[in-house]
């Protein structure tokens, strides 16, 4: 999965960081930072929950297509 965050939409609630601390952090202003932009199946549930809990809907999750032979 590819994880992106719209820093302009972020309202610094910190729910993403609390839910998936390995994937998300906050900068000095409290704005979301995606620390691990490409995640695997082990992180999927936490990342999806973080996206669901984000009050600003600032988190975007997309599938990463694997090429044949990957």
2-62 carries CATH number 3.30.70.20: yes
| Over residues 59-65, mean pLDDT | 90
| Over residues 48-69, mean pLDDT | 89
Domain boundaries, the chain: 2-62
Helix (H), strand (E) counts: the chain:
2, 4
Contact status, residue 24 vs residue 5, Cβ threshold 8 Å: yes
Local confidence band at 67 (pLDDT 50, 70, 90 cut-offs): low
pLDDT of residue 69: 62
Q: Specify the higher pLDDT residue, 68 or 9.
A: 9
How far from 23 is each of 30, 32, 67, 68, CA to CA, in Å?
15, 10, 24, 27
SS3 assignment, position 5: strand
């Amino acid at each position: 999965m590819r994880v992106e965050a719209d820093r302009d939409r972020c309202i610094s609630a910190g729910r993403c960081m609390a839910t998936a601390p390995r994937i998300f952090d906050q900068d000095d202003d409290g704005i979301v930072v995606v620390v691990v932009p490409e995640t695997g199946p082990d992180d999927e549930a936490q990342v999806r929950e973080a996206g669901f809990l984000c009050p600003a809907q600032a988190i975007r999750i997309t599938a990463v297509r694997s090429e044949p032979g990957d």
